[in-house]
Chain A
């Protein structure tokens, strides 16, 4: 519950500041608008990309609601509040909901949102159009098709588990799910995999092909002797004011992976960094592309077994292969948004800090460990080679190192700053807190010795909900509140946003910490029937799930209502002002219109 305290505290501060009247008296409407919406880099993305980003956001919200409904079904069954036909069918419904909930949350919601925002952020911060809009549209279509297939398979009661631990999908036993639903599920995962490959290739090609905007790497002393980033001239952004440069192809990888940040100063100047946001998205795309090899390996074994039951694959390899994909996909959502936070938080705080190279230094480590930590999911698979488990233990612990650097850097951005507290910054800062809490629980279970006790308990579920729901999802939603203003020139309702924030924080942290502590007491996860001694916790879990659900319905209503209405006078004023600002700095602004 400790996580709820800081956010409620922040909300009180926000309310207090509002009452104190921190508005700009010369331009009250404009300043209020800026207060409520996230800052956006000046680079204009194409109309096609803007529309596509919006479609990704809408799809992710729809699938978030669907996956949330499945979570409430699970909590309701565990609370013994519904009985579908007979006990067997009710349990079947629980496992079908469990399977689809996990996959939809990861693929239909989190990955969908990450892919959509990554396209937007990449084009914005690299100051260039995407390599291919067609590939972007294909990835969108495939991910949507896959999410629909997942829902259909759930309606058909497919209950193979959300991480599809083969060969369970082919062995329902006792009148369980139909094998046709298994085929639909495998096709959904295949579509997801192909969609993600299109995304990764598109990102990598966008970064490596042609010109790219440089980022900030060297802080320079100002007149007072204090360090400032040179890009902060006119307060137009830490990153987006250095003109486009041509990086030689040989050094582009070094820059894009953030490796150059570890070079001595004179070499750093020779190999300039690209934007930190671009680095984050690029690192994730490369790691995820490697991971999809694992997904296709697992699916290949599955289809082989489906077509020929005499074919006996190595199921341990299938499991390891899935997690080789499964862990990068988790980091994909989290780290992409963290990269964006490096830009958005300093914009909210309107401060410069002399920590630029440290912002970059985490990323080569994130890349290495995102690829290596996969096998901590199979610590309990004793036939696995010892060296794999040892590497996984070291990598699982070592990922704390770059995480520690990131937290320190972001806290330095926040410390004693006069941050603009708005819905977007609330979500982003709370998302950082949720990620840190999730990191503590992850360090606990990411250790081979403790995993013997905690593996497959609710503690692991608590960790996942802290990292994903209270970490990456909050970061992503915070970005959506900022991005919507840039995409639609309209702002989301502040009041509904505050309801969304407080219900999500209360329900989400409540849910995640209850899972965490129930797991420490030994409550097993994925149990449709909860032992009597823990039944007291079920109504609480249901309450917290409903609270989160209420928040998301509020968000969806806010989003669709905003998209459907016309722009207000105040919003039109902002657009005009932005156009004027853009035309006065036109040498810094480039458009992607011609590429599409």
Chain B
């Protein structure tokens, strides 16, 4: 993005500089515009922008959550289901065990001791008991917490996200959607164990 901003700035400066060129005659000015028109500059510019967008869309297609989820499910033997309950202003996580069937969500509801291993595909099923929350899992690196992934926890729905933790460690769970005055304090964590 920085490159795009720099290129755009350079282009703006060029255009502005061109307005200062007093030596350019009116005829010369019109000539440039005429040439651009003659060679259908805007038509080709339009085609170029449209092609660029299509290319970006194809490039980004595998990153879209449902496509990425399908890919994760295909690569994983077991799906580890974790239930998440969100309320003002706390998180509660419960372990629902592993299953080969992604639709099987209640394998071991009595076991609240969460034990997730690195490399496992985790299926988070989040529910809110009151308002909208944002289930954000952050990784700590260079003393900064950077979002790894997130989803909204909309009340009245099962909000589902699949994620595979690659490295063991303690990950911060933070509410990323404003949910009232104590929203900044709605923090928890999840420990990922070595495989």
Given A168-B132, A382-B151, verify A522-B184 contact (CB < 8 Å): no
Contacts of A353 in B (CB 8 A): 33
Contacts of B179 in A (CB 8 A): 168
Residue of A whose beta carbon sits closest to that of B89: A173
The chain A residues found within 8 Å of chain B, CB to CB, are 2-3, 5-6, 9-10, 13, 88, 91-92, 95, 98, 159, 161, 165, 167-168, 171-174, 176, 224, 226-227, 312, 314-316, 319, 349, 351-355, 358, 361, 378, 380-383, 386, 389-390, 393-394, 397-398, 400-401, 404-405, 408-409, 411-412, 414-419, 421, 429, 433, 436-437, 440-441, 443-444, 447-450, 452-457, 520-522, 524, 526-529, 531, 533
Q: How far is the CA of A381 from the CA of B4 in the complex (A)?
A: 30
Q: Is the CB of A415 within 8 A of B144?
A: no
Contacts of A454 in B (CB 8 A): 147
Q: B64 an interface residue at 8 Å Cβ cutoff?
A: yes
Which of B46, B57, B132, B177 has a CB less than 8 Å from the CB of A397?
B57
Contacts of A447 in B (CB 8 A): 56, 60, 63
Q: Is the CB of A159 within 8 A of B181?
A: yes
Which of A6, A13, A361, A400 has a CB less than 8 Å from the CB of B20?
A13
Kindly provide the distance from the CB of B45 to the nearest chain A CB, expressed in whole angstroms: 5
Q: Is the CB of B156 within 8 A of A312?
A: yes
Residue of B whose beta carbon sits closest to that of A89: B181
24 A-B residue pairings within 8 Å (CB atoms): A13-B16, A167-B130, A171-B130, A172-B181, A226-B30, A227-B33, A319-B154, A351-B29, A355-B33, A381-B151, A381-B154, A382-B161, A389-B65, A400-B53, A404-B46, A415-B33, A416-B24, A416-B29, A418-B19, A447-B56, A450-B60, A450-B63, A452-B63, A521-B146
Which of B33, B147, B177 has a CB less than 8 Å from the CB of A354?
B33
Contacts of A528 in B (CB 8 A): 183-184
Contacts of B8 in A (CB 8 A): 433, 436-437, 440
Kindly provide the distance from the CB of A240 to the nearest chain B CB, expressed in whole angstroms: 22
Q: How far is the CA of A338 from the CA of B15 in the complex (A)?
A: 18
Interface range, B side? 35 or more
Q: Is the CB of A382 within 8 A of B160?
A: yes
Q: Is the CB of A165 within 8 A of B181?
A: no
Q: B194 an interface residue at 8 Å Cβ cutoff?
A: no
> Interface readout for B173-195 with A: 1 if CB under 8 Å, 0 if not?
01011111111110000000000
Q: Which of B34-42, B73-81, B98-106, B107-115 faces chain A?
A: B34-42
Contacts of B130 in A (CB 8 A): 167, 171
Q: Is the CB of B180 within 8 A of A176?
A: yes
Kindly provide the distance from the CB of A428 to the nearest chain B CB, expressed in whole angstroms: 13
Q: Is the CB of B178 within 8 A of A529?
A: no
> Interface readout for B105-130 with A: 1 if CB under 8 Å, 0 if not?
00000000000000000000000001
Which of B37, B136, B156 has a CB less than 8 Å from the CB of A314?
B156
Given A165-B131, A526-B178, verify A533-B161 contact (CB < 8 Å): no
Q: B18 an interface residue at 8 Å Cβ cutoff?
A: yes
The chain B residues found within 8 Å of chain A, CB to CB, are 1, 4-6, 8-9, 11-13, 15-16, 18-22, 24, 27-34, 36-37, 41-42, 45-46, 49-50, 53, 56-57, 60, 62-66, 68, 88, 130-132, 134, 136, 138, 143-152, 154-161, 174, 176-185
Q: How far is the CA of A531 from the CA of B184 in the complex (A)?
A: 10
Q: Is the CB of A354 within 8 A of B134?
A: no
Which of A159, A452, A456 has a CB less than 8 Å from the CB of B149?
A452
Residue of B whose beta carbon sits closest to that of A530: B184
Q: Is the CB of B29 within 8 A of A417?
A: yes
A92-B181, A315-B154, A415-B19 given; name 20 further pairs at CB < 8 Å: A5-B13, A13-B16, A95-B180, A161-B178, A227-B33, A352-B30, A380-B134, A381-B152, A381-B154, A416-B32, A441-B1, A447-B60, A453-B148, A456-B136, A522-B138, A524-B136, A526-B178, A526-B183, A529-B184, A529-B185
Q: Is the CB of A449 within 8 A of B60?
A: yes
Kindly provide the distance from the CB of B147 to the nearest chain A CB, expressed in whole angstroms: 5
Kindly provide the distance from the CB of A93 to the nearest chain B CB, expressed in whole angstroms: 10
Contacts of A533 in B (CB 8 A): 143-144
Q: Is the CB of A167 within 8 A of B42?
A: no
Q: Is the CB of B53 within 8 A of A401?
A: yes
Which of A91, A361, A440 has a CB less than 8 Å from the CB of B181?
A91
Which of A172, A174, A453 has a CB less than 8 Å from the CB of B147?
A453
Q: Is the CB of A455 within 8 A of B150?
A: yes
Residue of A whose beta carbon sits closest to that of B131: A168
Kindly provide the distance from the CB of A447 to the nearest chain B CB, expressed in whole angstroms: 5
